[in-house]
Amino acid sequence: MFKSCNCQSSIATRVGFAIIFCLDALFAWLSLTGFMMHKIEEWSYNYIKMDCKDKDRCYGVLAVHRITFALSLFHFILGMMLIGVKDTRTKRAAIQNGWWGPKVLLWLLLTLLMFFIPNGFFVFWANYFSLIFASIFIVVGLVLLVDFAHSWSETCLDRWEQTESDFWKFTLIGSTLGMYAAAIALTGVLYGFFASSGCSLNQFFISLNLALIVVLTVLSISPQVQEANPRSGLAQSSMVAAYCTYLIASAVMNRDNAECNPITRGRGGSAKTTTVVLGAVFTFLAIAYSTSRAATQSTTLVGKRRAALNESRPPSGYGPLATRESLDNSAGAVVTDQPTKKDSLRIQALMAAVEAGAIPASALDEEEDDDEMETRSEMGGDEDDDERQGTRYNYSFFHFVFAIAACYTAMLLTDWRFVRLGGPSPDPSEAGAPIAYIGRSTTAMWMRVVSSWLCICIYTWSLVAPVLRK
């Protein structure tokens, strides 16, 4: 029944897991609303209480960590089952590319079971492990962001050189100017609303970020950096500048200080929602890009291995790389291997035509690909599978990224705040709040500030490293 849902394409597989991730994040987000809380109580026949009158069956905001933990555990199980899988022809590869019915059922079952685990476990998980794994994901995301900044610039330059089209030139120039304009405009807003007199910490964050952006801009176009990497320039630094400014803006907007943060004075509900949405969008984009980068690197490795195998073949005259000289030299050789489909007069005729200039050399590669597809079809494989010659990405690393991204989503939705169970709330505005509540802290602010500084350090190293290696 479930085999009909198999998706042999690596892209379809990644999209499928991304959809599950989005649904899980959406469910976790909705669990914070009163409507969803009442629905959970109704669906569980009042066994699950969200109003926290019964401490043993109180869930409240811990529902976010329960839902995201289920997704992390789901990907951890799949990642462990797929360790060492490098060929889609192995039986375990079907776990990744197929059996979507059982996988969805497993995810839903784990989500349901999480609501029967005591609160104490998730308080500990949220305050320590989820925080650590979310921080790791931030580092991974920052590295990928810097890599994307370089790749974007190189892609535009390559397309411009290949097509000589002004579209790619204006795209690169427009995106660069747009990123810098966004960073400058956002900095102005921060100075206007979050850096009033008496807010020295906010002023320090905003001013330091502005100074670092100027330093990065000058460094990216310095002669030493340009000599080591001619394609480094303002395009990359503009993207880093815009993102680091966003992180600083998110940090000061998350500061628990009514005098320096107008959002906490009751006029920032929409701004807070915007921050959460932007963070969620970055999460999804970072995950999608991380899998794409892994796929690209894996493809390169597979190609190198294939070329190495071809070069190591003996000149028996029966391989696809055989030439007329090798055929002549191997005329008296002893044949020890069984002839393959390539060992035919058709291949020899194609080779002769290529040498005569009648057809292009790519015809031999097309012939080889056709035979590979035919062989795979006889073995029961899918001719449209884009992983015929090996997996396009590391399956275990793929699931590791999704697992820690689920932790990041939980911390994002809960504002990186410390979860406590029981006792009175330290905030008078939270009087009568549930027993399990999210206490106010400066953790969210510092996580974003440190992330901004770390992003700048990573990008600076990407500029300086080629110079130091010369």
Domain ranges (residues) in the chain: 313-378
DSSP per-residue codes, 319-384: STT--HHHHHHTTTSPP-S---TT-SHHHHHHHHHHHHTSS-THHHHHHHHHHHHHHHHHTT--TT
Contact, 17 vs 402, CB < 8 A?
A: yes
Cα 316 to Cα 335: distance, rounded to the nearest angstrom: 7
Q: Look at residue 420 and give its three-state secondary structure.
A: strand
Number of residues assigned to the chain: 470
- 0.75 exceeded by the pTM? no
Torsion angle of the four alpha carbons 259, 263, 264, 270, in this order, in degrees rounded to the nearest 10: 170
Q: Kindly report the backbone phi and psi dihedral angles of residue 358, in degrees, each rounded to the nearest multiple of 5, phi listed first.
A: -75, -35
Cα 127 to Cα 123: distance, rounded to the nearest angstrom: 6
- Report the greatest alpha carbon distance in the chain: 94
pLDDT per residue of the chain (470 residues) written in tens, 0 to 9: 444 444 446 778 888 888 898 889 888 888 877 667 777 777 777 666 655 554 444 556 788 899 999 999 999 999 999 998 887 778 888 888 888 999 999 999 999 999 888 888 888 898 889 988 988 888 888 887 888 888 888 888 888 888 888 888 898 899 999 999 999 999 999 999 888 888 899 999 999 999 999 999 999 999 998 888 887 888 889 999 999 998 898 888 777 777 787 766 654 455 556 665 666 666 666 666 665 554 434 444 444 444 444 444 444 443 444 444 444 444 444 444 444 444 456 666 667 766 666 666 665 555 555 554 554 444 444 555 556 656 777 888 889 989 998 998 888 788 777 776 654 444 433 434 343 334 345 777 888 899 899 999 999 998 998 888 87
Cα 34 to Cα 92: distance, rounded to the nearest angstrom: 42
Find the helix or strand (DSSP H, E) in which 421 lies.
strand 419-421
Q: Please, is 209 exposed, middle or buried when counting C-beta atoms within 10 Å of its C-beta (0-12, 13-18, 19+)? A: buried
What single-letter amino acid sits at 385?
D
Instruction: Quickly count: other Cβ atoms within 10 Å of residue 336's Cβ.
Output: 7
Find the helix or strand (DSSP H, E) in which 438 lies.
strand 436-438
Cα 431 to Cα 223: distance, rounded to the nearest angstrom: 60
What single-letter amino acid sits at 38?
H
Dihedral sign of CA atoms 250, 255, 260, 261 in order: positive
